[in-house]
Amino acid sequence: MMELLIGIAVLAILTTLAVPSFTQFIANNRLASEANEMVASFQFARSEALKRGVQVQVCSSGDGATCGGNWNQGWIAVADPGPDEEVLRVWSPSDTAFQFTPASSTVGFQPNGFSTAAAEQQIEMMLSGCTSDSARRILVEGTGRVASQRVDCPT
């Protein structure tokens, strides 16, 4: 009986030590997954701009039909922005706990695949309660290259 109690006590101590790091592991994976989804949406828009020969943009969208709202509400890809625009795809966020900086913006690609922005664009994302280097930065370079990197949480 004593050996059983000692075994249970050791198991309880190990569980107490493992749960916080496992929780952080899950949060990091959720954030990486959401960042990868956003990178994929920008790569989709660039691919469509090259294929269609028109400007394509990805913008934050609160309703899934028009640009506007915040990134944490979702985003859409729009071909030929303007009066004849066509919504190509709609992305919904997996969780409203994600925080984006800037909260809303537009990332566009020209028919040649280059970014429509004059300078590199950045979107940072994190989960509430971010600690250490658990934030992600999505970079869109002028050449149209899209990448994600791990960064420190803002203070």
Q: Using one digit for the tens of pLDDT, what is the confidence trace for 70-89?
A: 898 899 999 987 788 899 99
Q: What share of the chain in percent tops pLDDT 90?
A: 48
Q: What is the pLDDT of residue 86?
A: 92
- Given a contact cutoff of 8 angstroms between Cβ atoms, the answer to whether 138 and 154 are in contact is no
Residue given tokens 């640009």 in the structure block: 67
Does the structure show a pLDDT above 70 at 155?
no
CATH class of 2-52+95-151: alpha beta
46 token code pair: 């660039």
Domain ranges of the chain: 2-52+95-151
Q: Using one digit for the tens of pLDDT, what is the confidence trace for 85-105?
A: 899 999 987 677 888 899 888
DSSP category for residue 113: S
pLDDT band at 16 (very low <50, low <70, confident <90, very high): confident
Cis peptide leading into residue 102 (ω within 30°): yes
Residue range 145-150: mean pLDDT, rounded: 93
Spatial separation of the C-alpha atoms in residues 22 and 26, rounded to whole Å: 6
Which tops the pLDDT comparison, 77 or 130?
77
- Indicate the Cα dihedral angle 7, 9, 14, 20, nearest 10°: 150
